[in-house]
Amino acid sequence: MAKSLLETKQKDEDIYEAKIRLAEELVIYDKVKNKSLQIAKNLLDILDNKTIAIKTRLTEEEVNVLRKAESH
């Protein structure tokens, strides 16, 4: 659905406005996700992956990938 909205032409004003709202929501999501990742990075040295995932609402897999990336 989102992909089809982004690929439509701007002729239909309602679809264009929906595309703008979707883009704004994606920006907010990206900011929240980045904040969660930063918090998780700060917790890596004191908490286990499961606890970090619970506290940041990331998945355990995301925390695991982050931990591996930070250890290199």
Tens-place pLDDT, residues 35-53 = 999 999 999 999 999 999 9
The token duo for 6 is: 């982004």
Report the C-alpha gap between 15 and 23 in whole angstroms: 12
Residue 19 and residue 35 in contact, taking contact as beta carbons nearer than 8 Å: no
Lowest mean pLDDT among 8-12, 21-25, 66-70: 8-12
What is the percent of the chain where pLDDT is above 70?
Answer: 85
In this prediction, residue 9 carries a pLDDT of 58
Distances (CA, A) of 43 to 31, 33, 38, 58, 63: 19, 15, 9, 13, 10
pTM of the model: 0.69
Mean pLDDT score across all residues of the chain: 88
In this prediction, residue 64 carries a pLDDT of 97
